Every structure is written in structure tokens, then in C-alpha cells.
Amino acid sequence: MTRRMETVFEASRPGRKGYALPELDVPAVDCRAALGKACRGKPPRLPEMAEVDVVRHFTRLSKLNYSVDEGFYPLGSCTMKYNPKVNEAAARMPGFAHLHPLQPEETAQGAMKLLFDLGAMLAEITGMDAVTLQPAAGAHGEQTGLMLIKAWHESRGDAKRTKVIVPDSAHGTNPASAAVTGFETVEVASDDEGMVDLGSLEAILDDTVAALMLTNPNTLGIFEKHILELTEAVHRAGGLVYYDGANLNAIMGKARPGDMGFDVLHLNLHKTFGTPHGGGGPGAGPVGVKAELEPFLPSPVVTLKGGRYTFTGKDERPLSIGRVRSFYGNFGVLVKAYAYIRALGPEGLKEASEMSVLNANYLAKKLGGLYPLAHKGHCMHEFVLNGGPLKHETGVSTLDVAKAVIEAGFHPPTIYFPLIVPEAIMVEPTETESVETLDRFAEAMEDIVAKARSEGPEAFHGLPTTTPISRPDETTAARNPILRWQFEE
């Protein structure tokens, strides 16, 4: 369908509405008299539409999206696995969806048990001692984790620890999270496998270092083989080690960050634990810590006392950093992650990780003949292709390749990340894809590379052609920002 998609503002007709209220059963109040000058003057120009038109508008909008429900979504670092439907049904049960967060604790024991049990299961999976479920997203979790590190050093009177070490291969959020919690970022170089070089790390470790942030497997999809030496070195220097849980999907039931020497971590429930991304959120970014940092966790925490669950607030937890958001986190998302873990059980979680690694290695081998791989040997759950040589040879950039992948009917992999690989193409197939899907994707990539060699970049610049829009002009969008609908006055 190529019909032009109108906005709700263009579709609006004065006098239409999509909702009727019950008749008012108490005496009406004159808002203008009651509120005086606080009463609204000019009404907001919201759309006026009948229900059927609203439903059709948003249904048609939805069809302009590509989604996991539609097909393969191999975005590296994003873990776009299938999102089980039963989890959606669970979160919508009235006993969860229609709970007020401040209603008496005795009327919310089931929800509190779920929070308590989910925290305990995440602690078990990661090897940590305590978990807060409050952070709303991965970056929010990072920020919270770094606050905990800051509070821990402060509590020891160690005020000079102002630096956070981040590898040059790190997710962009790591240095950003360090900056927004008042730390200065120091980069440590990685070797040609993206691994942190122990010597380089030791050279910059001193008593001003608060923490090292690492993701493991790293962003090239490789497990840090000197992980124990790295964490020991940081501990020896009086620092803490932070685990970015973005890549946990590779190692559930195989290795635990807590056993590797990590002190603080965040998880992305919308990656590893199957909750949907929703086009950018809501996610959830729980943070786990070792016992020593537990007193600093955000408040409130759920505790079990004499068979009853209670919320324990900051008044009883003097070292707590306080709140990072209201209430207890994105509860609806937490319900979905809980359902996911219960469905899989210990064997299923392990199998999810194993299959994510098997799928990645299978696809890496298939694509390794087309592109140089950024890793040697086997990868974990994702891998990075170096698009530099293809660009050098044919003039076809990684962006061109991504657009051709769209044309072939798939979502493209993550591109231009990690920064340490030129023209990077980062592929994460996840465990929920069948071998046939992987084969079809590999064939599409082969065709694209063949086309690059035979036809050159010009053949790519018009791509994609089958999508609702062709390549948008992003420069004009940024130079002359139009950020809201412009009404005709």
C-alpha cells in the first residue's frame, strides 16, 4: 500500500470524537468559576476523530514498521529475540495491570512476591547477592550502578576516586553514564580481538580510579580470556568492576559475572529476558551487586519478614542512594521477564545461551567468506564483520549494504559499531531463529556482495525501493528541525 499516510491532525474533523463518558451523576461544577484564571483559555488542538478512524490510522501506521513478529532482526548488541506472547497476557492480568503502587501492602502480596522472586532469580543467574528492579532502562541501570560505586567510595572516605576506565570498544552509554554521574572517563585500548590489554590497564590503575566498566563477552563477541586477572588488578588498586549486561545472553548457565569478580552490573530485561522493545521502550534495567554494596541500593527494597513481603524505605536504609525513579520500576516489564524465566527454567536459559552462540557461529562461518571477521576462532552470541575491504574494493559502504538488506526483506544488522572496526557490521542472530532463516539471510548477504562487485555503489544509492519511504534527507531534518505538526493558522 503506497497511499500517503496522513497525520492525525490532517484526519481531524471538528465535532468528531472517539469516546463517550457516562452521564455525570453528581452536580456539575463550572470549571471557569472554580479555577478562575487557572482555567484553560485556548483548547489544545488535539485530533477530533471517530474511534474507527483512530483504530484504522494507528493500524496503518503499525504496518509501516518492521518487527520481530514479522521477521529476522539481527541487530548486534540489541538481542532482538522473539518475545513470547504468554508474557503479554500475564502482564495484562487485572491483578497486575490494575494495581495501585501505594495500595496497602496486604493487598499486593502477590506482586511483591513476584518482585522478590524475580530479584532472587536474577541474582542467581548473574552470581550477585542483591538486585534492585527500579531502573527503567539499561542506561538508567548503568547510571544507577555508577551511583552505587560513587556512594561506596564516598562511604569509605575515598573522595579522590574520580575516574572510570572504559575500553575503546565499549557501548556509547558507558562513557555517557560515567559522565552523568560525575566521573571522568579514561579509555583503555583493546587488542586486535577487542580484549582489554592487562598491561595497558595496569599502567593506568591508581588510587584515583573508581571503577572499570566492561561488557563480557565484549562488543566483538569474544569472551575476555584474562577476566579474572583484569578484575583482580582493579580490586588490588582499590577500584570496583562494573559489568554491562548487554551481552549476558551468551552465557546464562555457562558463567556468571559474579564469579568473574564483577561487583556491580546491570541487565537489560528487554534483551536477555525476552521482553519486547516496544520501538524504544519500555524496557527495564535491574542492577545487581555484591553484598558489600547492598546497603547502597535504591529504596525501597522488598523484604520478606515473617512470611509477609514489605517495602523497606530509605528511613531504614541510611546508606541507600535514594530513588532513581518513582515506585518500583517498570513493573509490567518485570512481570514479562519473570514469566520468561519461569517458562525456560535452568535448562531452558542455558539452552537459550547455547543456541544463541551456535547460531552466531554458524552464521559467522557462512558470512566469513564474504567479509573479514573481526574475531579469530569462535565467537559468542554475536560477531562483527569488517566492511572496510568491500568499501575499498567496490565503493559500497556499510550503510549501502544495510539498505540492501532492507530491500532483501530483513532488518539490517547494527552498523558502524563497535567504533574500533572500520565500516563495522555487527550481527546477533539470537537463539530464536531457525537455521533456514540464517541460511536465507546468508544468501541475501552473498547476493549483496556479488551485486557490489558487479554493479558498484550506484546500484545501491536508490535502495531501498520496496519500503514506505526511500532514503530520507537527514541533513535537512537536523539543519531545519520540524519537530511538531505545523497547523495552518
Choose one: 207-215, 329-337, 383-391, 452-460; the region binding other proteins (CB under 8 A): 329-337
**How far apart, in whole angstroms, are the C-alpha atoms of residue 254 and residue 223?**
12
Binders of other proteins in range 300-319 (CB under 8 A): 314
**How far apart, in whole angstroms, are the C-alpha atoms of residue 57 and residue 48?**
13
Q: Which of 234, 352, 384, 390 binds other proteins (CB under 8 A)?
A: 352
Under 8 Å CB-to-CB from 392, ≥6 apart: which residues? Answer: none
Binders of other proteins in range 16-45 (CB under 8 A): 16-19, 21-22, 24-29, 31, 34-45
Question: Smallest distance, Å, CB 480 to other proteins?
Answer: 9
Binders of other proteins in range 176-195 (CB under 8 A): 176-182, 184-185
Q: Which of 291, 318, 472, 489 binds other proteins (CB under 8 A)?
A: 472
Q: Is 462 in the site for other proteins (CB under 8 A)?
A: yes
Q: Which of 198, 295, 310, 348 binds other proteins (CB under 8 A)?
A: 348
Cell 556479488 belongs to which residue? 450
Which CB sits closer to other proteins, 184 or 206?
184
Under 8 Å CB-to-CB from 406, ≥6 apart: which residues? Answer: 66, 412, 463, 464, 467
For 410, list phi and psi in degrees, rounded to 5.
-120, 160
**How far apart, in whole angstroms, are the C-alpha atoms of residue 432 and residue 434?**
7
Q: Is 291 in the site for other proteins (CB under 8 A)?
A: no
Binders of other proteins in range 238-277 (CB under 8 A): 251-256, 259-260, 274, 276-277
Contact 199, 162 (CB under 8 A): no
Dihedral of CA atoms 26, 30, 31, 33 in degrees, nearest 10, equals -140
Q: Is 225 in the site for other proteins (CB under 8 A)?
A: yes
The angle at the Cα of 247, spanning 241 to 252, to the nearest 5 degrees, equals: 95
Q: Is 365 in the site for other proteins (CB under 8 A)?
A: yes
User: Beta-carbon neighbour count of residue 120 at 10 Å?
Assistant: 13
Q: Which of 208, 232, 319, 332 binds other proteins (CB under 8 A)?
A: 332
Contact 146, 181 (CB under 8 A): yes
Q: Is 469 in the site for other proteins (CB under 8 A)?
A: yes
Which among 200, 189, 198, 199 is positioned nearest to 420, based on CA atoms? Answer: 189
Question: Smallest distance, Å, CB 449 to other proteins?
Answer: 20
Q: Which of 204, 319, 355, 444 binds other proteins (CB under 8 A)?
A: 355
Which CB sits closer to other proteins, 28 or 291?
28
Q: Which of 235, 290, 350, 440 binds other proteins (CB under 8 A)?
A: 350
Q: Is 434 in the site for other proteins (CB under 8 A)?
A: yes
Which CB sits closer to other proteins, 205 or 339?
339
Assigned C-alpha cell, 446: 552473498
Contact 296, 107 (CB under 8 A): no
Q: Which of 1, 3, 102, 489 binds other proteins (CB under 8 A)?
A: 102
Q: Which of 54, 319, 370, 459 binds other proteins (CB under 8 A)?
A: 54
Q: Is the dihedral of CA 47, 53, 54, 56 positive or negative?
A: negative
